[in-house]
Structure 1
């Protein structure tokens, strides 16, 4: 299992390098395929030996090989974070048919959180394809080749996506200033994953988003860095809440039922 986790982490490093491209180019409407990566100052293409995740940045000592322009620390940090995330998800999920779906969710979670923090946007170019990709990967997991199919989980996924999309849409209608339509569209994707995991995961994931987002906004206000009318990106907290639902939803659900 350790070898599998290590391989997943290495794969995550490579995916993290691609996510850096996504985070920079997608909000600007640029292709993530071409042109190849280049220094934004001098325009020289990044050499293949310098494009190795994390290692390339360390070898270059954080500067462009051609012009010496500093390379932001966020690039290797995103690569490293994606590697760690892929390793942790693989360790927690094990080698299963659910693993590809969860790794995909981990990748888009990192990309969308960073884009929302940078641009206050959740681009359709990332969110909308996730309906098809996420649903397809979860359908494969529900089919469970070689094992017992779990079609009930797939049905819950459809219901969860519809419910969370509807709830967020109603919130947008009632309080338009509270969130954007990008949050509504993301809610449907997260609802599919949470519904697949179970009803407790769906409820905990939904509630955790508002709890974590509210706590963050409260900390900013206490620190004097935000006011009551300050706009705070909600996408990262929706994603964090969804992962909370996936990881501890069942535990919290059983605890709550025990109290009753």
Structure 2
């Protein structure tokens, strides 16, 4: 019964958070040298960062309209992600940290898919929040991971991505390196086996997607595509393995 309550709470939180993501995704989806969007496609000011992507309009001359990602889709996806995490980790204290971070990772994925960019305003605070959150979780009874392992995993994965970036800057963005820091903290929590699985699966998912594009004729061997969503998917799989295993 307790697990059902936790899963339901995670789904409810995820769905509520997902409803708020589309406006932020639209505002953040700009080129690296551009300012964050502060107006809708029709030129109306956007109030705040969180909420549904629509303008109320001002009468017949400026009717209400929508833009960006549909809130129903982000709410559904965020609810599913948080619910699966809640079911996997259960009542252990780290569950709150992982569930809370899931909508932020979804937001990063939406922005990366739109403009192949992972904003520092999200990646770096996320890494810090995960490190602090898991540090607090490690102090509570029932925690199934290691804070030291989380910090070491974050440094190791970020270091590995930094090396790949230095070897081939055209094949990987520096935003991926910063995201790797947060994801490494997450998968390092459950040990090196989970860390290795999460890191490997991120590359595998990305490679399969790239291969599918090439086979369909939609891209060439050197075509760039957003890698952040696949990194996040690999880390999510690792956390699920670690959560169910613990």
The TM-score with structure 1 as length reference comes to 0.78
For 2:94 and 2:195, locate their aligned partners in 1 and report how far apart those are by CA, in whole Å.
Answer: 17
Partner of 2:24: 22
Instruction: State the SS of the aligned residue for 1:136.
Output: helix
Partner of 1:140: 136
For 1:6 and 1:149, locate their aligned partners in 2 and report how far apart those are by CA, in whole Å.
Answer: 21
Instruction: State the SS of the aligned residue for 1:246.
Output: helix
Partner of 1:210: 203
TM-aligned CA deviation for residue 177 of structure 1: 1.5
Instruction: State the SS of the aligned residue for 1:197.
Output: coil
TM-aligned CA deviation for residue 245 of structure 1: 1.6
* Structure 1: unaligned runs, 5 residues or longer: 253-260
For 1:21 and 1:45, locate their aligned partners in 2 and report how far apart those are by CA, in whole Å.
Answer: 8
1:56-71 aligned within 5 A: 67=63, 69=65
> Which of 81, 86, 91 is the aligned partner of 2:87?
91
TM-aligned CA deviation for residue 244 of structure 1: 1.7
Instruction: State the SS of the aligned residue for 2:189.
Output: helix
For 1:73 and 1:219, locate their aligned partners in 2 and report how far apart those are by CA, in whole Å.
Answer: 24
Structure 1 residues 250 and 174: CA distance shift in structure 2, 3 A? farther
Counterpart contact for 1:194–1:201, Cα < 8 Å: yes
Asked if 1:179 is matched to 2:185, the reply is no
1:1-260 aligned within 5 A: 1=2, 2-28=4-30, 29-30=35-36, 40-41=41-42, 43=44, 67=63, 69=65, 74-144=70-140, 147=141, 153-248=146-241
Superimposed CA distance per residue, residues 119-146 of structure 1 (whole angstroms, 9 cap, x where no aligned partner): 11000000010122111110111111xx
Q: State the structure with bigger RCO (CA 8 A, min sep 6), 1 or 2.
A: 2
**Bigger radius of gyration:** 1
For 1:193 and 1:113, locate their aligned partners in 2 and report how far apart those are by CA, in whole Å.
Answer: 16
For 1:16 and 1:251, locate their aligned partners in 2 and report how far apart those are by CA, in whole Å.
Answer: 25
* Structure 2: unaligned runs, 5 residues or longer: none
For 1:102 and 1:190, locate their aligned partners in 2 and report how far apart those are by CA, in whole Å.
Answer: 11
Structure 1 residues 12 and 116: CA distance shift in structure 2, 3 A? same
Number of residues of Structure 1 aligned to a counterpart in Structure 2: 232
Instruction: State the SS of the aligned residue for 1:116.
Output: helix
